Structure 1
């Protein structure tokens, strides 16, 4: 098995983010956390994930500050995993992934889950904008790279 290369020192913010949440299990755990799941058993049931893999992903998400492990119950031996403020910052990422899937991975009339505002039931939508509020697309953006030594 080839050792996974760490991207934690990369100059690219995308690479550093993927170093923490770049596997699909981690993103699905975060998705379920946004849906209100907090317990190991809930994540395992929802995802059908092996216990050892779930344990590893939860540990990484806690170490990265995306989830916090909070002891609960009588002996406080059980843990709940809750999104931190850092984890909540992944909300636009999750919305963008949903929008991509809705646009490109479902037939027009195919049944699918929907993300809506609790209060109104209106669909949640994500737009990319400049600092002054204008919508922008990939053809109008450029990455300014760090000069190499």
Structure 2
């Protein structure tokens, strides 16, 4: 069933952006991957206004990316990624790696994502064919809804 609010009801990229496309939502997800769980910690780390953070957290919960639950002591709520939210890890890594290549001047300081076990940088994320051959846009095509099969 399609929602009349979808930007493009048949495009997975458009639907994803409709759900997560503002910068705050992806930065909240990024911080959750870094272990942030509490409202005030998200707020301080991001420098985001309370009302905007509340709105984005509600939206992330509504689409099943995060859930709210009591902390270990039961004194406060915390926000944690669901399986659906953890599935965004590759997306966040791909955005990070694009930024490493294109959003910094040579030699400019930046954070790094490292493999915990080795301390080495995370290898580049890249699509590949079933046989491991790297793919780029020239190697793929989108079959749009209503396109005849081949």
Q: What is the TM-score when the length of structure 1 is the normalising length?
A: 0.89
Q: 2:136 maps to what in 1?
A: 137
Secondary structure, aligned partner of 2:138: helix
Q: 2:112 maps to what in 1?
A: 114
Secondary structure, aligned partner of 2:78: strand
Structure 1 residue 22: Cα displacement = 0.7
The whole-number CA distance in structure 2 between the counterparts of 1:79 and 1:19 is 27
The whole-number CA distance in structure 2 between the counterparts of 1:8 and 1:82 is 28
Unaligned runs of 5+ in 2: none
Q: 2:40 maps to what in 1?
A: 41
Secondary structure, aligned partner of 2:37: coil
Secondary structure, aligned partner of 1:69: strand
Q: CA RMSD in A?
A: 1.8
Structure 2 residue 130 is the aligned partner of structure 1 residue 128 = no
Q: 1:92 maps to what in 2?
A: 90
Secondary structure, aligned partner of 1:129: coil
The whole-number CA distance in structure 2 between the counterparts of 1:126 and 1:132 is 16
Which aligned pairs between 1:43-62 and structure 2 lie closer than 5 A?
43-62=42-61
Structure 1 residue 72: Cα displacement = 2.7
Q: What is the TM-score when the length of structure 2 is the normalising length?
A: 0.88
Number of residues of Structure 1 aligned to a counterpart in Structure 2: 143
